[in-house]
Chains A and B, each alone.
Chain A
Amino acid sequence: MIDEDIMKKVSAGNVKMLAILFERHHVKMYNYFLRLTADAGLSEDLTQDVFFRVLKYRDSFRHESKFTTWMYQIGRNLFFDHLKKSKRETPLEETWGNEIADTGGQPDAHTQDEQDIRFLHRALDRLTPSQKEVLVLSRFQGMKYREISQLLGCSLSTVKVQVHRAVKNLRKSYVELRGGVA
């Protein structure tokens, strides 16, 4: 059953069916917040809040639109609400710098992978918020550019330009962090 049909049933009062949508989407939603905030606890809270709002505002879902677009819209609103309330800057460099990635490979390769992951996270953090968000949505959430443009309320060409710039700037930062080595 597709998301929109399930949401139709939730809107009609069969709220238990929201569990299916939760199981399908909560990990991706969590990772969306995590990549933007680098805060696991906060990302869990925001994810919970998303599904609570999906439930609370289930009557406002327009069934001709895509469920994931609506869900991410709720997510974005929650994220920006959080930003307004929070004055603390997320210490992303310190957070990602402490991550250990268990690849199970050779010791040297293990260290290299770990370093690459750390550098990529730090490079992501150096992007502007809008570039970071379009990159996260397209590269990690698997969202098509058209859907991103609807979500962000901008033109398709703007999204594509942002993605292009984001990847270019990410690479520049990544190379700098690796000491000039690509």
Chain B
Amino acid sequence: MKNDCQTIQNQFADYLTGDLDTGAVEQIRDHTAACASCNRELEELTATWIQLGILPEEQPGSNLRKNFYAMLDTYQEGMDTNTGYSGKLFEKFNFKKLGEWAESLWPRRPVYQFALALVFLFTGLTAGIFFQSQTSPGQEQQLAALNQENKDMRQQLTLSLLNQPSASQRLKGLQQTSFLDDPDGEILETLFNTLNSDANVNVRLSAVDALYLFTGQPGVKEGLLASLQKQTSPLVQVALIDLMVEIREKRAVQSLKKLLENKKVNPEVKKRAQTSIEKLL
């Protein structure tokens, strides 16, 4: 092989990943235009690289997530009680059996389940009252900082889930929003993006439910009103219309009248819009 062919072919790996600058790409193109062997090599490599794109990304089973969160919760509990549980005892458990082990501790009969739940509630309340009376101003500051960190963490987790390629993960992210007391602008913006442009109608419906919790926040009602005009799925339109009635948003009347005038809107949606106008006025 000629030296220049070798030099050119040494760059093929970078060419495949698009990591060459314009100059290097032009150099390769000039060479392959004149060298049939290198040209064929590059064409075949490129075709194969692209062909590999048809191999799908597989989704793991639901047990993977379940076991991970069980492991994390157990680890956290171990750290909180400072028994050293998190270290060595932990390694004795096979993760697959962790869930079964936790389930085995829970009583089977409902009456005992209720009793155990009451015990946990009482213990929690007592501990809470006790520790509240014991906290100093310094400790209160630490608690506030921890709470803030916890809140930030929940928001990050929610955002991460909402941006996942899998619809089931996005749905999980939407469920997570119900644990947020005061979501920031980024969360609300992501929720509206999800409501207005997610490909999956179930995800958009869940976004309506998620935003319902935050209608007290500035801009949310206006965002929902705007979304009503954008939606094309009858299910999502009806969900939004019902939400407007629930929150007694009289500004929705104008939007609902527009829906009545729109020939493309489903007749059932129009019926719901009509009855909702009567409820709002």
Contact = CB atoms under 8 A, between A and B. Distances in A.
Contacts of B235: none
B60 A40 contact: yes
Contacts of A121: 55
A182 B60 CA distance: 32
Q: Is the interface of B mostly helix, strand, loop or mixed?
A: helix
Nearest to A33: B60
A82 to B, nearest CB: 15
B44 interface: yes
Interface in A26-68: 26-28, 30-31, 34, 40, 43-45, 47-49, 51-52, 55
A30 B60 contact: yes
A113 B153 contact: no
A67 to B, nearest CB: 14
A132 to B, nearest CB: 12
Given A44-B60, A116-B51, A15 B76 contact: yes
Interface in B136-186: 149-150, 153, 156-157, 160-161, 164, 166, 169
Given A14-B149, A23-B157, A163-B16, A171 B44 contact: yes
A117 B156 CA distance: 36
Contacts of A120: 51-52, 54-55
B68 A139 contact: no
Given A15-B75, A167-B49, A48 B55 contact: no
Interface in B7-26: 9-10, 12-14, 16-17, 19
A48 B54 contact: no
Interface in B23-60: 41, 44-45, 47-49, 51-52, 54-60
Interface in B187-230: none
B14 A171 contact: no
Most buried by A among B63, B68, B69: B68
Interface residues of B, number: 47
Given A15-B72, A16-B153, A139-B49, A117 B95 contact: no
- Which bracket fits the contact residues of A? 35 or more
B118 interface: no
Contacts of A164: 9, 12-13, 45
Given A27-B59, A48-B68, A145-B17, A16 B76 contact: yes
A23 B64 contact: no
A19 B79 contact: no
B110 interface: no
B71 A48 contact: yes
Nearest to B146: A14
Nearest to A52: B71
Most buried by B among A31, A49, A121, A144: A31
Contacts of A170: 48, 52
21 contacts: A6-B156, A9-B149, A9-B153, A15-B79, A16-B153, A17-B153, A20-B160, A22-B68, A23-B161, A23-B164, A40-B58, A49-B95, A116-B54, A120-B52, A145-B19, A160-B14, A163-B13, A168-B41, A170-B52, A171-B45, A171-B47
Interface of A: 1, 6, 9, 13-20, 22-24, 26-28, 30-31, 34, 40, 43-45, 47-49, 51-52, 55, 101, 113, 116-117, 120-121, 138-140, 144-145, 157, 159-161, 163-164, 167-168, 170-171, 174, 182
Given A24-B160, A26-B64, A117-B54, 12 more contacts: A14-B149, A20-B153, A20-B156, A43-B60, A45-B95, A47-B64, A49-B95, A140-B55, A160-B10, A164-B45, A167-B45, A170-B52
Interface of B: 9-10, 12-14, 16-17, 19, 41, 44-45, 47-49, 51-52, 54-61, 63-65, 67-69, 71-72, 75-76, 79, 95-96, 149-150, 153, 156-157, 160-161, 164, 166, 169
